[in-house]
Amino acid sequence: MQVSNILESIDLGAVALPEFQRGYVWTRKQVRDFLFSLYRKRPVGSLLFWVTPSLEAPARGEGPLQPGHVKLILDGQQRITTLYGVIKGSPPDFFDGDEGAFKGLMFHLEHEVFEFYAPVKMRDDPYWISVTDLMSGGLDPFISKINSDPSLQPSMARYIGRLNYIHSIRERDFHIEEVAGEGVVLDEVVEIFNNLNRGGTKLSKGDLALAKMCAGWPEARSEMREMIRGWDHAGYNFSLDWLLRNVTTVLTGRSLFEGLEHVGPAEFRAGLQDAERSVNYLLNLISGRLGLDHDRVLGGRYSIPVLTRYLVNHGGKIMDAAERDRILYWYIHAFLWGRFTGSTESALNADLRAMEKAEKGNEPHALVEEMRLWRGDLRIRPEDFRGWSLGARFYPLLYLMTRVGEARDWGSGIPLRADLLGRLNRLNVHHIFPKSVLYKASFAKTRVNAIANFCFQTQDTNLDISDTEPAKYFLDVERKHPGALTSQWIPMDEKLWKVRNYEHFLAARRELLAEAANHFLNGLLRTKPEDIEVDTTYIARTVQPTPGGIESEEEELALQRCNQWVQQQGLAGGEMGYELVDETGSLLAIIDMAWPNGLQPGLSDPVAILIDETDEVEDLVNGRGFRYFTSVEAFKDYVNREILVVSVPA
């Protein structure tokens, strides 16, 4: 079938894209290489279509399908979309991706190379011609151009031949195979698709479940994305897979996406609305009661699908303060101990089963008991605060304690409670012993950025203190605002305020933090500390700080800006503070920012940014198959050169 006929069939609704396809992900380099192969008449593979009744077709896009049967593209989406975009100058109706990947493609008449338009390089060079203009307007304008330009006339015949080679791509024949028959079902088609894409983007179980929903409710994916954008504006970064997991637990009481197989479009839509309301309720609850009001400190996001199920079963709200606090007790421990790191589905199913077996109203207790069976000891120990960096699991707990307790700002003396600051008003991380002072005293980065050296202040206070040593500014804080130091768990032995006693200060503050954390958590359960059973064999374990992590708010801001830039290029967003785990789910390191599935999920290698990390972290990341960069600038250069194929000045 000729390329021109395929494109015409797309416009007529005779050829379309199945909903389960993830969209257009080719880069400029892939587009350029593909056109060059077509120009050289090299083999570029065959196409595979699924022939299915139009009325039942799970097709993407809002364009009408032709009556009778439609051909859905199983293998060849990237190639067909590229040809459509380059030849017609705009994407097809089913397009979902970055148009910049194929717009502005140019061809050099003399050197026979394809490149994307660069104004400075190409504007006044007659040898560069627009491939799209040639495809859509024909040869005549370009023949006239060559004939009227003295620099091009000597090679006119050769250049016209090359233009013909490009234009004839429209008549290139593709071999097409078809999957057809009344007995062919979506599951079988998806299996065929995955077998074809062993080295590329395979469909997850979530993709298949959503594809089935979209067959009966085509707007499902767009409505879910709109919800995710709303949460993003509120400061929370969630994925489509995560939202679908919430819908699954709401509708089925299980975590596995296969449970949606017999859920109809109307029921799914109702479940999605229930999930959205429940997530909003929980975010407000977690923000208002715990002060965890933005993505960095949210933690344990896969505990939320459990709680959405709980809320829906209880009419969408929590009855009283005691029930609320028991739920939050479980939630806090879920993120402190990495309940859903590793085998997410098995942990989710265990918790959902525990709730299902419990008597009405006793579900929070059942969740806590399930946590005890899995974890053993839920008591916070001083050693748990030995971690370092903004990516450590106990960093959100320190933020929480600041927002819910009596912590006060050291410059103004005002409380730092969540209800006074308001939602999404983030505090500044303050190094109690300034970084410059500790580095001057030859302390390592892991000690400088220890969690026990963190507290939170308003921006003005953070700037006022600057690099003053605690031995000096602590006295001034205590004189102006008595009790402000102890409100942030500062040991009041003045000898510990000296740099030479820094390690002793950290140890003493860890004791105070653990005591305060246990007091708060025990209060949530309305129990006394001695009532909590302790597994002494677990307490005997040694807690080692996890290597890696974001060092400062400046570093965090730089990574956030980098992530925004990446997404503006039409690429996948990265995960800040990514937890690198082994096969058992044990935490190995915290990566500053990572793309575990690649910048183009399924098509490119895992990538990471590691800013000022140790050789140990770099070796761990490299050993897990990540390509890593040690600066934002180096990472951006990689994206431009190898992913976007943008000409970067040397």
Q: Which amino acid is located at 9 in the chain?
A: S
Are both 260 and 157 inside the same structural domain?
A: no
Q: What tens digit of pLDDT does each residue of 404-425 get?
A: 888 999 999 999 875 554 443 4
| Of 490, 513, 539, the domain-final residue | 539
Q: Is 530 a member of any domain?
A: yes
Calculate the average pLDDT of the chain.
85
- The percent of residues above 70 in pLDDT, for the chain, comes to 87
In 410-469, which ranges are continuous DSSP H helix? 418-421, 435-440, 445-448, 459-465
Q: 302 and 218 in one domain?
A: yes
Which pTM value belongs to this model? Answer: 0.68
- Do both 365 and 387 map to the same domain? no
End-to-end CA distance of the chain: 44
- Per-residue pLDDT at 82 exceeds 70: yes
Strands 607-609 and 627-629, by their bridges, are: parallel
Residues 411 and 533 reside in one and the same domain: yes
Q: At what angle do helices 205-216 and 186-196 cross, to 10 degrees?
A: 140
User: What is the per-residue burial (b if ≥16 Cβ within 10 Å, else e) of 82-109?
Assistant: bbbbbbebebbbbbbbbeebbbbbbbeb
In a domain, 547, yes or no: no
More confident residue, 474 or 544: 474
Position 544 in a domain: no
**Pair (407, 364) in one structural domain:** no
Among the three residues 375, 397, 432, which one is the final residue of a domain in this structure? 375
On whether residue 58 sits in a domain, the answer given is: yes
Same domain, 223 and 147: no
Query: Rounded to whole angstroms, how far apart are CA atoms 545 and 70?
Result: 58
On whether residue 192 sits in a domain, the answer given is no
Query: How many structural domains are present in the chain?
Result: 4
Give the per-residue pLDDT at 423. Answer: 41
Q: 180 pLDDT exceeds 90?
A: no
**Residue 196 amino acid letter:** L
pLDDT at 556: 81
Same domain, yes or no: 526 and 584: no
Whether residue 648 is contained in a domain is answered as no
Which of 308-312, 338-342, 591-595 is the least confident region? 338-342
| pLDDT value at 79 more than 50 | yes
Q: Which of 331, 356, 375 is the last residue of a domain?
A: 375
Residues 458 and 592 in one domain: no
Please indicate, yes or no, if residue 350 is contained in any of the structural domains.
yes
DSSP structural state of residue 649? -
Using the structure block, give the residue that is written with the tokens 């921006």.
459
Range 142-165 average pLDDT: 92
pLDDT in tens, 209-246: 777 777 678 788 889 989 998 998 888 888 888 999 99
Residue 281: inside a domain = yes
454 and 525 fall within a common domain: yes
Do 300 and 366 lie in a common domain?
A: yes
Q: Are residues 168 and 77 in the same domain?
A: yes
Residues 229 and 337 placed together within one structural domain of the fold = yes
Separation between Cα atoms, residue 272 and residue 250, nearest integer Å: 8
**Domain limits for position 93:** 3-186
